[in-house]
């Protein structure tokens, strides 16, 4: 959600910034802009609605600079348009600024300080650069004006801000609160970005910024100060990830590449977490802290929430600790009565989701211990939780989460096993995680190798339909709602994931001739009941598609799943559902990796 890049000191500012924006494209955006300045009186501001390719087409050969800022915007306040795209400019044309986040008190600030300013956009962001312009006009230095403007933003506001002063264009002013931002340390120049991936072509060394910090960034200087104005010294951390890990590698879309990578991710997780003798590489302090709790709260959003539902089954079965799963945006403002000794698990691919972060901040204030399970080392939720476990899934670029979902479930299984083993729990001791995850990896491989069959099913049932249902019971219901989210977000088919037994209590009224109803059946205890529910919808004209474990399959079932441990069936059952979503989107002619209205990293509440 919104990408932000800046650089100072490199005379290839345009290509560096455009490259950075392209690397952040996957996060989701609807307009883009760039400002560069050559420090000799020439500067250029170019903005457009639409894709970065359109921005590039507007950048003529004469556009050049040694300092610059660029931005991809995901509209929150104001429609997607060139006027609302960043950078925004102060009324006197002196200050240029890009912003990620939300300024919650922008209306009040406008009224109180800027009533006479002619705003050029409908955004909340523009208010910040106009405040800087006003305060500089009143006699403050650029830095003082920047700091004063920031001091007026209310507690609910979130920002990553980059600013250039046209009268003094050798400094990039940087500020951060809640929205992610990193300084990239280079030789003879410096960069700043909302995600390390944007700048891996020029550096692997990054300095994280903390909330409230302000930076003056120059070609040979990184001057950080905290909210009180004290100088901050912080060493860079090294990102070992190869820049090519975020390339498509011959695939037409990242989503298909990432679906195909899942068997390898399962093997990687075995390597990262399981020792040769079957013991697990999980910090004993983490195990002890969780064991000391009387209830686990899993908090997450979207697909990560769905992975949490499966985690609930695993933790209760093996760790024997009561576990609840909550949608972060609900939990933050409608908190249930908490247990006496709660432990929080935040599941988040990006580690930046604002809804989850809001809950983590609240729980930190209450001094409750927490674990973040994330794909992104050094991400905000990782830094702010007591413990972190990494997903080791490699960069997930497609907006639709696939390999992060299965990696989350696998890590939850490893964690549950580790706690159970520590308790000498027989079920946990019998759960051979290396063997079970290897079976899963092999099963996933069989399914992705047969993807042409799923492509045919998508062509037959999903190209034309307006709506669809996924149904399942027990653990298959957990998979059904993730499968439905996948299908709706990339194909725009209105899809509901439903508890199979609940359909007849109302929703069956929506079944029409030809409505696709995809049922997931892996749990023997409820298989017969789900079969009855299939019959009920078939009798009303539905096109029934079955995704069924081998041992429960009937002749005529379209997708048969390899057998795996009963609590790990979501790891294989989701593969055909991901592929159905992918092919439905592709066959309908949509932008599979960047579905409309969606962002990869949702950094606003
Ligand atoms: O980065 P997170 O895992 O915290 O993101 C949570 C959701 O925004 C994310 O899973 C979203 O639902 C995906 N687009 C689903 O494919």
Ligand 1 mean position to 510 CA, how many Å? 28
CA of 40 to the centre of ligand 1 (A): 44
Tell me the HSE value of 113 on the side-chain side, using a 13 A CA sphere: 21
Q: How far is the CA of 401 from the centre of ligand 1 (A)?
A: 6
Cβ within 8 Å of residue 184, ≥6 positions away:
190, 191, 192, 193, 196, 199, 202, 203, 205, 206
Residue-level pLDDT at 178: 85
Mean confidence (pLDDT) of the chain: 95
Q: Which atom of ligand 1 is nearest to the CA of 350?
A: 1
Report CA(584)–ligand 1 centroid distance (Å): 20
The residue whose C-alpha atom lies closest to atom 8 belonging to ligand 1 is 302
Q: Residue 281 belongs to what H/E stretch? A: none
Task: Name the nearest CA neighbour of 508 among 482, 540, 462, 546.
Answer: 540
Would you say residue 557 has pLDDT above 70? yes
CA 270-521-579 angle, 5° bins:
65
Around ligand 1, the residues with Cβ closer than 6 Å are 301-304, 348-350, 353, 356, 399-401, 485, 489, 598, 601-602
Q: Which atom of ligand 1 is found nearest the CA of 401?
A: 16
Q: How many residues does the chain have?
A: 605
The number of the ligand 1 atom at minimal distance from the alpha carbon of 303 is: 10
pLDDT at 249: 78
Q: What is the pLDDT of residues 142-174, one digit of tens each?
A: 999 999 999 999 988 999 999 999 999 999 999
Inter-residue contact 250 to 394 (CB < 8 Å): no
Question: Nearest C-alpha to atom 4 of ligand 1 is from which residue?
Answer: 348
Cα(399) to centroid(ligand 1), Å: 8
600 Cα to the center of ligand 1, angstroms = 7
Check whether 28 has a pLDDT greater than 90: no
Provide the pLDDT for residue 356.
Answer: 97
pLDDT digits (tens, 9 = 90+) for 185-237: 999 999 999 988 899 999 999 999 999 999 999 999 999 999 999 999 999 99
Distance 353 CA to ligand 1 centre (A): 8
pLDDT at 76 over 90: no
Is residue 97 within 8 A of residue 132, CB to CB? The reply is yes
On the question of pLDDT at 357 being above 90, the answer is yes
- Would you state the pLDDT for residue 334? 93
Percentage of the chain lying above the pLDDT 90 cut: 90
9: left (phi over 0), alpha (psi -120 to 50) or beta: left
pLDDT, tens digit (0-9, with 9 covering 90-100), for 472-529: 999 999 999 999 999 999 999 999 999 999 999 999 999 999 999 999 999 999 999 9
Minimum-distance ligand 1 atom for the alpha carbon of 599? 14
pLDDT higher than 80, residue 309: yes
Question: Which is the closest atom of ligand 1 to the Cα of 602?
Answer: 8
Residue from 195, 302, 308 to probe ligand 1 pocket by mutation (most atoms less than 8 Å from CB): 302
pLDDT in tens, 433-481: 999 999 999 999 999 999 999 999 999 999 999 999 999 999 999 999 9
Residue corresponding to tokens 């099963």: 443
Q: Mutate which of 303, 389, 409 to test ligand 1's pocket (most atoms within 8 Å of Cβ)?
A: 303
Q: What ligand 1 atom has the least distance to the C-alpha of 601?
A: 1
pLDDT in tens, 98-139: 999 999 999 999 999 999 999 999 999 999 999 999 999 999
Q: Give the pLDDT score at 479.
A: 98
| Residue 448 near residue 313, CB atoms below 8 Å | no
pLDDT at 1 over 70: no
Pocket test for ligand 1, best of 349, 351, 390 (most atoms within 8 A of CB): 349
* Catalytic residue IDs: 2, 600
Residues 583-595 have a mean pLDDT of 95
Question: What backbone torsions phi and psi does residue 261 show, to the nearest 5 degrees?
Answer: -80, -10
**Rounded distance between C-alpha atoms, residue 392 and residue 247, angstroms:** 17
pLDDT for 230-275, tens place per residue?
A: 999 999 999 887 777 778 878 999 999 999 999 999 999 999 999 9
Q: Which mutation among 602, 604, 605 tests ligand 1's pocket best, with the greatest number of atoms within 8 A of CB?
A: 602
CB 24 within 8 A of CB 5: yes
């Amino acid at each position: 959600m919104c990408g932000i890049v800046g650089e100072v000191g490199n005379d290839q500012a345009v290509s560096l910034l455009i490259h950075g924006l392209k690397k952040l494209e996957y996060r989701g955006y609807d307009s883009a802009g760039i400002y560069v300045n050559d420090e000799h009186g020439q500067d250029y501001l170019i903005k457009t609605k639409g894709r970065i390719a359109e921005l590039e087409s507007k950048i003529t050969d004469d556009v050049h600079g040694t300092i610059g800022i660029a931005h991809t915007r995901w509209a929150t306040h104001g429609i997607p348009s060139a006027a609302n795209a960043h950078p925004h400019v102060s009324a006197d044309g002196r200050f240029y600024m890009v912003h990620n986040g939300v300024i919650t008190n922008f209306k009040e600030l406008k009224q109180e300080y800027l009533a006479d300013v002619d705003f050029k956009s409908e955004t909340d962001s523009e208010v910040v650069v106009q405040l800087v312009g006003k305060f500089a006009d009143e006699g403050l230095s650029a830095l003082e004006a920047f700091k004063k403007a920031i001091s007026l933003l209310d507690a609910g506001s979130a920002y990553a801000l980059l600013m250039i002063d046209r009268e003094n264009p050798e400094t990039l002013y940087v500020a951060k609160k809640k929205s992610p931002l990193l300084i990239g340390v280079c030789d003879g120049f410096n960069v700043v970005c909302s995600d390390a991936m944007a700048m891996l072509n020029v550096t692997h060394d990054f300095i994280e910024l903390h909330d409230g910090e302000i930076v003056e960034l120059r070609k040979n200087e990184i001057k950080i100060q905290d909210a009180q104005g004290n100088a901050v010294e912080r060493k860079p951390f090294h990102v070992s990830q190869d820049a090519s890990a975020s390339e498509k590698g011959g695939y037409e879309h990242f989503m298909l590449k990432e679906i195909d990578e899942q068997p390898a991710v399962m093997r990687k997780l075995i390597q990262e977490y399981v020792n040769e003798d079957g013991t697990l590489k999980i910090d004993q302090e983490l195990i002890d802290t969780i064991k000391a709790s009387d209830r686990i709260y899993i908090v997450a959003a979207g697909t990560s929430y769905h992975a949490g539902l499966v985690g609930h089954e695993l933790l209760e079965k093996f760790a024997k600790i009561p576990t609840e799963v909550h949608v972060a945006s609900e939990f933050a403002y409608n908190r249930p009565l908490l247990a006496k000794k709660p432990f929080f698990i935040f599941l988040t691919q990006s580690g930046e989701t604002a809804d989850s972060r809001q809950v983590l901040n609240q729980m930190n204030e209450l001094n409750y211990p927490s674990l973040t399970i994330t794909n992104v080392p050094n991400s905000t939720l990782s830094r702010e939780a007591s413990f972190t476990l990494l997903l080791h899934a490699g960069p997930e670029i497609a907006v639709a989460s696939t390999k992060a979902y299965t990696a989350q479930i696998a890590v939850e299984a490893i964690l549950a096993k580790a706690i159970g083993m520590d308790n000498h729990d027989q079920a946990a001791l019998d759960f051979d995680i290396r063997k079970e995850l290897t079976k899963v990896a092999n099963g996933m491989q069989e399914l992705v190798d047969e993807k042409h069959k799923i492509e045919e099913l998508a062509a037959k049932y999903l190209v034309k339909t307006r709506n669809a249902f996924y149904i399942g019971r027990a653990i298959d219901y957990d998979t059904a709602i993730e499968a439905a989210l996948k299908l709706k977000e990339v194909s725009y088919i209105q899809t509901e994931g439903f508890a199979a037994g609940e359909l007849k209590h109302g929703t069956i009224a929506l079944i029409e001739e030809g409505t696709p109803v995809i049922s997931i059946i892996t749990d023997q205890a409820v298989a017969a009941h789900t079969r009855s529910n299939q019959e009920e919808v078939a009798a009303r004209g539905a096109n029934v598609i079955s995704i069924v474990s081998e041992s429960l399959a009937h002749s005529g079932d379209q997708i048969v799943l390899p057998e795996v441990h009963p609590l790990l069936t979501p790891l294989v059952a989701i593969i055909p559902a991901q592929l159905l979503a992918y092919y439905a989107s592709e066959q309908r002619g949509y932008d599979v990796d960047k579905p409309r209205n969606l962002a990869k990293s949702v950094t606003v509440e």
